Amino acid sequence: MPNPAMESSVKTQPHRRRPFYHRFLLALGLSAGLIGFSLGLGILGYHFIAGFNWVDSLLNAAMILTGMGPVGTLNSDAAKLFASAYALFSGVVFITATGILLTPIFHRVLHRFHIEERDLR
Residue 80 backbone phi and psi in degrees, to 5: -70, -40
Percentage of the chain lying above the pLDDT 70 cut: 81
Query: Is residue 34 predicted with pLDDT exceeding 70?
Result: yes
Q: What is the pLDDT of residue 121?
A: 47
Give the pLDDT score at 86. Answer: 96
Q: What's this model's pTM, rounded to 2 decimal places?
A: 0.75
Question: Do 43 and 52 form a contact (C-beta atoms < 8 A)?
Answer: no
Instruction: Report the pLDDT value the prediction gives residue 112, as an integer from 0 to 100.
Output: 74
Whether domain 34-116 has CATH 3.10.310.40: the reply is no
